[in-house]
Amino acid sequence: MTADSRPRLVVLTGAGISAESGLKTFRDGDGLWENHAIEDVATPEGWQRDPELVLRFYNERRTQVRRARPNPAHRALAELEQAGFDVCIVTQNIDDLHERAGSREVVHLHGEILKARSSIDPRLIYPLPRGGIRLGDLCDKGGQLRPHVVWFGEAVPAYGHACDIVTEADLLLVVGTSLAVMPAAMLLHEAPTECPCILVDPNASALSPDWVRAIDAPASQGVPKLVDHWRRRQRLE
């Protein structure tokens, strides 16, 4: 419980929650991300080899993110918070759909595509230059700007903060993640032993360890149903 004694709901989200907003997941298809090999566009080595390709790739992804709209799952979580529940979202997603739905406490484990950061100092984070990042756009220390996104093989600076949040959970809801990527997948194990954990995903039963309650459903159906249930239960108490 938090100091004000409301139960703390922590929601861990992955690409699946944004799938019905039109943003592709990573591991449902052929291992490519929008026709690019992951190692070309989402690794430090790919960036070293061809920064122009990487910048172009993320500039295109940004257009998709801006066009996407929050779906009923994003909206239900925001409405739960607005109804007075203590909700914190830890997302692996780099889009801003939780924020646009109205959620206020959102931790981005893998960064935010709509921001830029220094390629020589990950602590230097900037608003996006107009028109996207170009070669020659520099940080205050003179390094090239890059997308504010954590790539494969890189450290996850927000992980410690995310662990602290999960450690305080009274209820853990996991939505739309294959739980295939470390260290994000380890977060589940940081929850207190008595904390119930629910996974909403079309493949939930196949993905869940046996101590997790699996709800085999797309996010836009499973999440609003759960949220509705919690809100009705609160009214009865």
**Nearer to ligand APR by C-beta: 15 or 187?**
15
Closest residue (Cβ) to ligand APR? 16
**Nearer to ligand APR by C-beta: 86 or 162?**
162
Shortest distance, position 10 Cβ to ligand APR, whole Å: 16
Shortest distance, position 212 Cβ to ligand APR, whole Å: 13
Residue 79 phi/psi, 5-degree rounding, is -65, -35
| CA distance linking residue 149 with residue 112, whole number of Å | 6
Shortest distance, position 130 Cβ to ligand APR, whole Å: 26
Q: Is the peptide bond before 224 cis (omega within 30 degrees of 0)?
A: no
Please pick, among 74, 98, 110, 148, the residue that the annotation labels catalytic.
Answer: 110
Q: Which of 144, 173, 159 is nearest to 110 (CA)?
A: 159
**Nearer to ligand APR by C-beta: 125 or 234?**
125
Q: Is-catalytic flag, 110? A: yes
- Please spell the DSSP secondary structure of 87-113, one letter per residue: EEEEE---S-HHHHHT---EEETTEEE
Distances in whole angstroms, Cα of residue 236 to Cα of each of 196, 224, 228, 231: 21, 18, 13, 9
**Nearer to ligand APR by C-beta: 86 or 226?**
226
Shortest distance, position 118 Cβ to ligand APR, whole Å: 20
Which residues form the interface with ligand APR (CB under 6 A)?
A: 14-17, 19-20, 25-28, 92, 110, 176-178, 180-181, 201-203, 207, 218-219
| CA distance linking residue 180 with residue 53, whole number of Å | 26
- In this structure, the number of other CB atoms found within 10 A of the CB of residue 164 comes to 11
Catalytic residues: 110
